[in-house]
């Protein structure tokens, strides 16, 4: 276990950060959010984390996560799940993605069930884990700390 200069973010902070992320995305029409996101990602933060003074730390070094680590943390699991959830059904059926879309397959598909199921599993992992980590935090060896608490 790494000794950090700040306490870990509480579940309330993590939920508040998620709600702020959604609100900022809507208010900025996604474009402003994306620009802001890409600029501060290298500081171990996202826009919602920056507003609440939360930061992602690398548990192996005890320092804030760098841009590449954050990018993998934020998009790696999402992309892996998307490839598994949507790619495997396409490959198994030997149909092209456009045929699936034209058949209305994506409205309620095995891919959607897998994608949202794994995403929910990741989100609810925080309740199982005493270290207050989502599954993506465990995989990426990161912790979210509350820098406003000190």
**Is residue 40 pLDDT above 70, yes or no?**
yes
Residue 60: inside a domain: yes
The backbone region for 26, taken as left when phi is positive above 0, alpha when psi lies in -120 to 50, beta otherwise, is: alpha
Mean pLDDT on 87-111: 59
How many residues are present in the chain? 150
Residue 38: inside a domain: yes
Residue 3: inside a domain: no
Is the pLDDT higher at 59 or at 118? Answer: 59
What was the pLDDT predicted at 103? 54
Residue 2: inside a domain: no
Residue 131: inside a domain: yes
Give the max Cα distance, the chain.
Answer: 56
Q: What is the chain's mean pLDDT, rounded? A: 85
Give the C-alpha separation, 139 to 144, whole Å: 14
Residue 15: inside a domain: yes
| pTM score of the predicted model | 0.81
Residue 55: inside a domain: yes
Strands (E), 17-132: 54-58
**Is residue 44 pLDDT above 90, yes or no?**
yes
pLDDT for 8-35, tens place per residue?
A: 999 999 999 999 999 999 999 999 999 9
Mean pLDDT on 57-64: 94
Tokens of 130: 């005493």
Residue 5: inside a domain: no
Domain residue limits at 86 = 11-149
**Number of domains the chain is built from:** 1
């Amino acid at each position: 276990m790494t000794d950090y200069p700040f306490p870990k973010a509480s579940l309330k902070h993590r939920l508040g950060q998620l709600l702020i992320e959604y609100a900022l995305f809507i208010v900025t029409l996604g474009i402003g959010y994306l620009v802001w996101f890409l600029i501060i990602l290298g500081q171990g933060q996202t826009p919602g984390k920056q507003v609440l003074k939360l930061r992602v730390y690398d548990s192996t070094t005890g320092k804030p996560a760098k841009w590449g680590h954050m990018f993998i943390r934020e998009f790696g699991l999402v992309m892996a799940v998307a490839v598994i959830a949507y790619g495997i059904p396409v490959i198994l059926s030997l149909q092209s993605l456009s045929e699936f879309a034209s058949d209305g397959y994506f409205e309620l598909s095995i891919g959607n069930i897998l994608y949202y199921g794994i995403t929910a599993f990741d989100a609810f992992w925080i309740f199982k884990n005493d270290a207050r980590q989502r599954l993506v935090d465990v995989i990426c060896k990161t912790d979210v700390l509350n820098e406003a608490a000190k």
